[in-house]
């Protein structure tokens, strides 16, 4: 991967970014995405946010190599703090765990009023991100599952349009699996959840062997999730 050729997961992230204004990429990883977006005329300006000096220096070097110092800015800060004194049309948070992404959004709410779109790519536990969006007035408008190097990544796109893709009857199931992904059921999605189904079966068997009052609720949870996966995987 480089600034001309993104990884498959970042290609999908780039597809969801608004083709206007400013993008802020939180935890930018060498500023590959901001340099790609601005260099290809997709965005007018970009902020590459880093929390540590080492990655910040790498991002600045990449920006200079591509002669984009006037259009891409690397800033040091914790999460959305890199937007202090700035505005962004799209905020990207990619390549982190779902709980961490939810925490970044929660702790950075003061910087979100002017943001039009969130593009979020959790490596694990996407349900934490969906739940945060749902509780905080953001509408999940698109999702994608992308397989790369044996791992399946989910990319979530949200705005403030008021769209509600969830049904009350299946809310928990859709939070876990993704309301759009359940309908799409592409190859990457199916591969991910087939592996998860096998893992949940092993966990349930272990819980049954150590059956006691403390494992009863966990067994019920495993049974519920296995039932959901049986419905989805057919």
Same domain, 131 and 224: no
For residue 113, tell me if it sits in a domain: yes
Residues spanned by the domain of 223:
189-233
Give yes or no: residues 36 and 92 share one domain. yes
Pairing of strands 90-96, 117-122: parallel
Model pTM score? 0.94
Query: In terms of domains, do 124 and 86 share one?
Result: yes
Residue 177 lies in a domain: no
12-26 pLDDT, tens digit each: 999 999 998 999 999
Average pLDDT score, the chain: 94
Q: Is residue 135 part of a domain?
A: yes
**In the block, which residue shows the tokens 């979530």?**
156
Mean pLDDT of 146-167: 96
Do 32 and 112 lie in one domain? The reply is yes
Residue 1 pLDDT greater than 60, yes or no: no
- How far is 183 from 186, CA to CA, in rounded Å? 9
Residue 227 placed within a domain: yes
Same-domain pairing of 41 and 157: yes
Same domain, 196 and 105: no
- Check whether residue 152 and residue 55 sit in a common domain: yes
Q: How far apart are CA 158 and CA 119, in angstroms?
A: 7
Quick check: 209 pLDDT over 90? no
pLDDT digits (tens, 9 = 90+) for 123-144: 999 999 999 999 999 999 999 9
Q: Is residue 35 part of a domain?
A: yes
Residue 194 maps to a domain: yes
Point out the domain boundary residue: 163, 180, 209: 163
Whether residue 117 sits in one domain with residue 193: no
Domain match, 90 and 197 both: no
Q: Is residue 25 part of a domain?
A: yes
Residues 117 and 195 in one domain: no
Tokens of 84: 């202090």
**Can you give the CATH number for the domain in which 118 is found?**
3.40.50.150
pLDDT at 62 over 80: yes
Give the per-residue pLDDT at 218.
Answer: 83
Mean pLDDT (whole number) for 17-42: 94
Output the DSSP codes for 106-158.
Answer: HHTGGG-TT--EEEEEESS-HHHHHHHHHHTT-EEEEEEEEEETTEEEEEEEE
Domain end, chosen from 163, 180, 212, is at 163
Rounded CA-CA distance 200/226 in Å is 7
Q: Is residue 172 part of a domain?
A: no
Q: How many domains does the chain contain in total?
A: 2
| 135 plus 22 within the same structural domain | yes
* pLDDT tens string 64-118: 999 999 999 999 999 999 999 999 999 999 999 999 999 999 999 999 999 999 9
Task: Identify whether residues 51 and 85 lie together within a single domain.
Answer: yes
**pLDDT value of residue 213:** 63
């Amino acid at each position: 991967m480089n600034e001309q050729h993104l990884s498959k997961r970042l290609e999908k992230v780039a597809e969801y970014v608004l083709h206007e204004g400013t993008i802020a990429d939180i935890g930018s990883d060498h500023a590959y995405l901001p340099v790609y977006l601005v260099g290809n005329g997709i965005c007018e300006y970009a902020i590459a946010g880093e929390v540590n000096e080492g990655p910040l220096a790498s991002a600045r070097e990449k920006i200079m190599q591509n002669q984009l110092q006037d259009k891409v800015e690397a800033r040091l800060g914790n999460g959305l703090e890199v937007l202090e004194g700035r505005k962004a049309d799209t905020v990207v948070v990619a390549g982190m765990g779902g709980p961490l992404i939810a925490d970044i959004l929660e702790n950075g709410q003061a910087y979100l009023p002017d943001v039009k779109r969130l593009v979020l790519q959790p490596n694990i536990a996407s349900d934490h991100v969906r739940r945060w969006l749902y509780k905080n007035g953001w509408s999940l408008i698109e999702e994608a599952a992308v397989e790369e190097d044996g791992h399946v990544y989910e990319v979530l796109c949200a705005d403030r349009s008021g769209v509600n893709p969830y049904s009350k009857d299946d809310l928990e199931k859709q939070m876990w699996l993704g309301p759009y992904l359940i309908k799409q059921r592409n190859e990457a999605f199916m591969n991910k959840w087939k592996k998860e189904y096998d893992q949940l079966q092993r966990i349930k068997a272990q819980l049954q062997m150590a059956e006691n009052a403390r494992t009863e609720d966990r067994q019920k949870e495993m049974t519920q999730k296995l039932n959901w996966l049986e419905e989805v995987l057919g």
